[in-house]
Amino acid sequence: MRFFYRYLMVKPVMKNLIIIFFLLSCVNSFCQKNYFKYEIRKHHARLKESKKKGTVILSLDTIFNKGIPHAVLEEKKRLPFIDFALYSLNHDMLAYIQSRLGIDGYPYYAFNFTESGNVAEIDKYDKMKLEKIIVENALINIRQIDPFNETNFLIKFPRKFSNPGLKAYITDSPEKGKLNTTHIYQKVVRNREAEFYFKEGEIIQDYKIIGSYKILDSLVRFYLPNGLLAAACEKQIESGRWIITSLRENKTMAFAALSDDPLRELIKFLLDRLYL
């Protein structure tokens, strides 16, 4: 009653302004509810399509792979650029993706990985889908950055924009005039205390490819990054032990794997003895 009495005492112009403000508030509230319902319907439709076609989508700040939640990718406006923050489904920060301009004026994204501190730089182009790049490169595994795939991502997208002097190329044969080092026993300088990973024929430690391997039935061959054969390991069927031949010393050793993952044990054996 007190509010109504005060309303009657207000001047006619103010009364009209109050009415207009009230009506606008109602209209705005109605539009927001309808827009929210529209976004939810659109989200469910896209999610259904992702499940049906096995595609990667970004909807409601969440990356879905084949309809399954994969990670959170939030837009962070930093005018005149737009950055992105990549989180796990537990909302742990995994990477901060910055929009930048290179020295030559070309736009690019800088992937700043939170835990390792590493940075990868990738071309920015029209209709680019960050969610597809994240999934296609398998950067996230069990709600955290996969160190093996992060290393491959860093090799694939080096810091060529912020460091234009860096030459990045992949070649199967040495450049003309370049020293052929395939006969040199050259190991990779890195932190040997770091965890090592192996997958799809590559061995990685301290975010560097330190060697490779090939499995041929009961024989496993290990190579240095320059292609030089470092060791050959052959499993003896009768005893179950491995005979390891070091090409550097032309030395033969016997090794018994004690776990269900002999490949990991063989790699650790070679690392501990500085063969890789």
Of 114 and 182, the one with more pLDDT: 114
Region of 235 on the Ramachandran plot (φ > 0 left; ψ -120 to 50 alpha; else beta): beta
Q: Return the pLDDT at 170.
A: 36
Q: Return the pLDDT at 193.
A: 92
pLDDT in tens, 215-262: 988 889 999 988 888 888 998 877 778 989 887 777 888 888 888 899
d(CA 132, CA 129): 5
pLDDT in tens, 40-97: 788 788 888 888 888 999 888 899 999 999 999 999 887 778 899 999 999 999 999 9
CA distances from 272 to 131, 224, 267 (A): 39, 15, 9
d(CA 134, CA 71): 9
d(CA 164, CA 102): 9
pLDDT in tens, 8-36: 455 555 555 555 555 556 545 545 555 55
pLDDT in tens, 183-226: 567 888 999 999 999 998 999 999 999 999 999 888 899 999 88
Work out the mean pLDDT of the chain and round it to a whole number.
80
3-state helix, strand, coil in the chain (%, to 5): 30, 35, 40
Residues 116-128 have a mean pLDDT of 87
Does 129 score more than 80 pLDDT? yes
- Could you tell me the pTM of the whole model? 0.66
